[in-house]
Amino acid sequence: MNIGIACDHGAFEYKEILKDMLQKEGHMVTDFGTYDTNSCDYPDFAAACAKSVAQKKNDFGIVICGTGIGVSISANKVHGIRCALCSEPLSAKLTREHNNANMLAMGQRIIGEEMMKEIVHVFLNTPFSKDERHQRRIDKLMALENE
């Protein structure tokens, strides 16, 4: 898969671990930064990653900050993005099945490294259910972008 990743200074460590894991698993990873632990602004990096997903340059985007909240809010401001903040694998599974989420957000201060890896694996390996009721709800939530 083509996967975009991004973080702020509060999650640089996890972003590097994630990049290494995904590349070893054969994914094509585009790293939108940040590239060190110097203080920075999470919307800059989350938005760049989200735009690449919205433009179909990446299949999925994964964004990480201290809590995961800032990057998830930022990503969801980009039209076409459904970014889910997950702290455990069940939410990652259900957001793919029900919301067809195209981005995943996590918090380095919130979850452990192994939990991050498990959440990412579940997210990337769970297909959208394609159930009519879920598609109807997704259509309604995406229509909110036009209001």
Q: Cβ–Cβ contacts within 10 Å for residue 17, how many?
A: 16
Measured from the CB of residue 69, what is the shortest distance to ligand RB5 in angstroms?
4
Choose the catalytic residue: 7, 40, 49, 65.
Answer: 65
Site string for ligand RB5, 70-99 (x = CB under 6 A): x-----------------------------
CA angle 78, 92, 96 (to 5 degrees): 65
Q: Is 42 in the site for ligand RB5 (CB under 6 A)?
A: yes
Choose the catalytic residue: 9, 27, 98, 121.
Answer: 98
Residues 6+ apart with CB under 8 A from 56: none
**H-run or E-run covering 62:** strand 60-65
Segment contacting ligand RB5 (CB under 6 A): 17-25, 49-57, 66-74, 137-145? Answer: 66-74
Distance CA 93, CA 141 (A): 19
Cβ-based nearer residue to ligand RB5, 32 or 42: 42
Phi, psi of 61 (to 5 degrees): -125, 145
By the criterion CB under 6 A, which residues form the site for ligand RB5?
Answer: 8, 10, 42, 65-67, 69-70
Catalytic positions, written as ranges: 65, 98
